[in-house]
Amino acid sequence: LQRQIDIFPLLQEESYLRAYPEERKSRAFLEFCREGDHKAIAELLKTCHPDSGDYDEEDPKSANEILRYQDPIGDMQSGLHAAAANGHREVAWLILLLASELPELHFPALVFQEAAALGLMRAEQDGKVDIRSLRDAQGRTAEDVAEEAGVVWNGWIGNGRLAL
């Protein structure tokens, strides 16, 4: 038994998922971003391919749709916002690699190595929304959220990594 726990957010999410079961993968993606679980994100994204053994015809969202998902019950934050708010650089690098037009020269070599080890590759981003351009319901970019979060994002603010 946990005392003083606010169960409203849990009930709200459960109610939302009952109404929109096709949002389950997208909601899981955001939770993994909040938790900093880049390996779970990679596994989830791989299930979006129709040739995957884990492909879910009930939730046929593409990896691109999931990467750019904005939380309608969570202030319209994206996965990059969630990573920034919770200080998860590994997740931010992964999302930037897969959903932005940030030039490859701006990524540490380790990011490419880890993505390859996870079975992910950067796809062409032409014509796709750059994740750095997304704003939450308060008009904030992921960079604004990171700036509010503080110290962990030193070196990331003002250089175009988290905002356009």
How far is the CA of 93 from the CAs of 10, 47, 56, 83, in angstroms? 29, 20, 27, 10
Which CATH number is 69's domain given? 1.25.40
Domain membership flag for residue 37 = yes
In a domain, 156, yes or no: no
In a domain, 114, yes or no: yes
Please report the pLDDT score of residue 128 as a whole number: 96
The answer to whether residue 19 sits within a structural domain is: yes
Residue 105 lies in a domain: yes
**Radius of gyration, alpha carbons of the chain:** 16
Residue 161 lies in a domain: no
The total domain count for the chain is: 1
Task: Domain of residue 106: give its range.
Answer: 8-150
Element (H, E) at 38: helix 38-46
- Dist. CA 14–CA 105, nearest whole Å: 42
Q: Does some domain include residue 160?
A: no
Q: What is the pTM of this model?
A: 0.87
157's CB contacts (< 8 A; 6+ apart) are 143, 146, 147
What per-residue confidence (pLDDT) applies to 58? 62
**Is there a domain that residue 162 lies in?**
no
29-57 as b/e, with b when 16 or more CB fall inside 10 Å?
bbebbbebbbebbbebbbbbeeeeeeeee
Divide the 164 residues of the chain into consecutive groups of 10 and give the mean pLDDT of each group.
77 82 92 97 88 59 95 95 97 98 96 96 94 98 94 90 95
